[in-house]
Amino acid sequence: METFVTIERALAIARETPVRFTTEKVSLNKAHNRILAQDLQSKVDDPPFDNSAMDGWAVNSKGTTPRDTTGYSTVRAGDHDPEWLTEDDAACPIMTGAPIPPGADAIVMKEDGVNGKAHTNFIRKRGENFLEGDTLLETGQLMTPSAISLAATMGYETILVRSKPKIAVISTGDELIAPGNGLEYGQIYESNSYGLCALLEKIGCIAIHHSVVEDSIEGLRNTLNSLDCDAILTSGGVSMGEFDYVRKLMEEEGDLHFWKVAMRPGGPPLFGTWDGTPLFGLPGNPVSSHLVFTMIVAPWLAPEVPLAKEVRVRMKDPVKGAPGKVCLRRIQISPEGDELVATTHTHQGSGNIHSLVAHNGVTYLPPDTGANAGDIITALWFH
Ligand code: AMP
Ligand code: MG
């Protein structure tokens, strides 16, 4: 077990215990945001035949003008056997996407009139985009809308994708009450599980939302033992407190791989396995749990779906660093001129979830390093 590791080391340790994926076939209509689990070779040349890139006339570039369209009906997209161009001055009306009549090697654009310039490059040549057998999508590819269209162009109707991992989400804490109920003095609304479930959905996992578990070793042990999932996310109960039972239980009965990461907010997360199932223990403070998810859990579970992009920003407000830890202050990033600038707007406490909504990124300040207004620093811009 390692303690107080860097963010990079935490991720490396977690990656030694990956979630085991199965695969399933899905139709392209169900493939959005799924992760491809096979290499796809094109079943066809693209385009499969020479065709016109423009509406106009198919002609021979070495032919004569004025041109004559007599006897030719328009070649339409989908036509199978366009007529031969036999005469030197022949011009056959043609639609975009229609096959090129034999004998033609150029297109005159409709806009230029039938005697206009003949363009050989307005013919899209068979296979100019890719060839049958080319591998264009590989295992691990995120199926974006354009990747889905490419798979269809290649002739695939169904594809093999990774099954979505099932991740249990469990909040712990005696003070936590599900929203919708009344609060008594000392209680707060439980919020982390809702955000964590949404984050899991965003990166293509199935979130199993459990009700709050009270701060007791037995309650927690019973809940963990009852789970049927591929990985477990808990929130709360991982710091030094007397009732931080997730940490205690994992120390005593689980298999702990790391505890504490050099980041602020988000210091006390842990990772290990419970009866063989990977378990991330996230801190209870709402900003901390979201940021540990973004920085470590998401890149572990779904590196294909990054939640943040590293950028350089010029700070307009000063921000404090953190002793010995990477400091993730919430910032609002926006373009200004030819650079990105960043401002801060809310209280930065790790309990203030509003700070993550009021801003669109965080600083990535190295340990013991703050920034003054005007400094250019590394930041993470959330998607
Ligand atoms: P803990 O990590 O359990 O010590 O909790 C740290 C802080 O986060 C405490 O103020 C908790 O009340 C709060 N907290 C813990 N879990 C949640 C949760 N699921 N939703 C909202 N706040 C929480
Ligand atoms: Mg707690």
CB-CB contact of 249 with 296 (8 Å): no
Are residue 185 and residue 212 in the same domain, yes or no? yes
Q: Is residue 133 part of a domain?
A: no
Which amino acid is it at 200? L
Judged against a pLDDT cut of 90, whether residue 383 lies above it is answered with no
Are 348 and 369 members of one domain?
yes
Task: Write the DSSP string, 185-251.
Answer: TT-EE--HHHHHHHHHHHTT-EEEEPPPB-S-HHHHHHHHHH--SSEEEEES--SSSTT-HHHHHHH
Last residue of a domain, one of 125, 150, 179: 125
Q: Would you say residue 193 lies in a domain?
A: yes
* Average pLDDT for 20-43: 97
Query: Which of 86, 103, 102, 97 lies closest to 56 in space, CA to CA?
Result: 97
Q: Is 171 near ligand 1, meaning CB less than 6 Å away?
A: yes
Q: What is the pLDDT of residue 230?
A: 97
Pair 98, 27 in one domain: no
Count of helix runs (H) and strand runs (E) in the chain: 8, 26
CA-CA distance, 59 to 287, in Å (whole number)?
Answer: 66
Q: Which atom of ligand 1 is nearest to the CA of 212?
A: 19
Query: Which amino acid makes up residue 237?
Result: G
- Residue 74 maps to which CATH number? 2.170.190.11
**Are 178 and 89 part of one and the same domain?**
no
- Distance (angstroms) between ligand 1 centre and the Cα of 191 equals 9
pLDDT at 73 over 90: yes
- Surrounding residues of ion ligand 2, Cβ less than 5 A: 173, 236-237, 284
Residue at 351 is within a domain: yes
Start-to-end C-alpha separation, the chain: 33
Q: Is residue 231 included in any domain, yes or no?
A: yes
Please indicate, yes or no, whether the overall pTM of this predicted structure exceeds 0.95.
Answer: no
Flag whether 131 is in a domain: no
Q: Tell me how far apart the alpha carbons of residues 321 and 181 are, in angstroms, rounded to a whole number.
A: 38
Same-domain check for residues 6 and 75? no
Distance 134 CA to ligand 2 centre (A): 54
Q: How far apart are CA 148 and CA 137, in angstroms?
A: 10
pLDDT band at 157 (very low <50, low <70, confident <90, very high): very high
Confidence of residue 218 (pLDDT cuts 50, 70, 90): very high
List the CATH number of the domain containing 156. 3.90.105.10
Same domain, 192 and 294: yes
- Co-location of 203 and 261 in the same domain: yes
Give residue 238's pLDDT. Answer: 97
What CATH number corresponds to the domain at position 370? Answer: 2.40.340.10
Phi, psi of 26 (to 5 degrees): -130, 155
Burial grade of 218 (CB within 10 A; 0-12, 13-18, 19 or more): exposed
* Domain match, 252 and 365 both: no
| pLDDT, mean of residues 264-287 | 97
Residue 315 pLDDT > 90, yes or no?
yes
Distance 90 CA to ligand 1 centre (A): 79
Whether residue 88 lies inside any domain: the answer is: yes
Q: Which of 170, 172, 176 to mutate to test the pocket of ligand 1 (most atoms within 8 A of CB)?
A: 176
Binding site membership of 241 for ligand 1 (Cβ less than 6 Å): yes
Same domain (yes/no): 284, 241: yes
In percent, how much of the chain has pLDDT > 90? Answer: 98
- CB-CB contact of 69 with 91 (8 Å): yes
pLDDT of residue 121: 97
Give the residue-averaged pLDDT of 132-153: 98
Q: Is residue 318 part of a domain?
A: yes
Whether the pLDDT of residue 27 is over 90: the answer is yes
Structure tokens at 62: 């070495």
Q: What is the pLDDT of residues 80-95, one digit of tens each?
A: 999 999 999 999 999 9
The residue among 301, 322, 354 that closes a domain is: 301
- Give the ligand with the smallest distance to the CA of 192: 1
Tens of pLDDT, residues 335-345: 999 999 999 99
Whether 94 contacts 74, CB under 8 Å: yes
Residue 52 to residue 124: CA distance in whole angstroms: 6
**Domain-terminating residue out of 301, 318, 339:** 301
Rounded to whole angstroms, how far apart are CA atoms 122 and 363?
Answer: 49
Same domain assignment for residues 168 and 276: yes
> 188 in ligand 1 pocket by Cβ < 6 Å?
yes
Give the sign of the dihedral formed by CA 381, CA 198, CA 267, CA 11.
negative
- For the chain, the domain total comes to 4
16 and 32 both lie in a single domain? no
How far is 175 from 187, CA to CA, in rounded Å?
A: 5
Residue 359 lies in a domain: yes
DSSP state, 173?
-
Quote the mean pLDDT of the chain.
97
Residue 10 backbone phi and psi in degrees, to 5: -60, -45
| Cα 206 to middle of ligand 2, angstroms | 25
Rg (CA), the chain: 30
Torsion angle of C-alpha atoms 79, 128, 96, 91, degrees rounded to 10 = -80
Whether 172 and 234 have beta carbons less than 8 Å apart is answered as: yes
Q: Which ligand is nearest to the CA of 173?
A: 2
Q: What is the pLDDT of residue 295?
A: 97
- Residue 370: CB atoms within 10 A of its CB come to 16
Range of the domain at 340: 308-382
3-class DSSP state for residue 73? coil
Looking at the fold, whether 247 and 202 belong to one and the same domain comes out as: yes
- The per-residue pLDDT for range 356-376, each reduced to its tens digit, is 999 999 999 999 999 999 999
Ligand number nearest CA of 188 is 1
Q: What is the dihedral of CA 296, 300, 306, 307, to 10 degrees?
A: -40
Does ligand 1 lie within 6 Å of residue 266's CB atom?
no
Q: What is the pLDDT confidence band of residue 235, given thresholds at 50, 70 and 90? A: very high
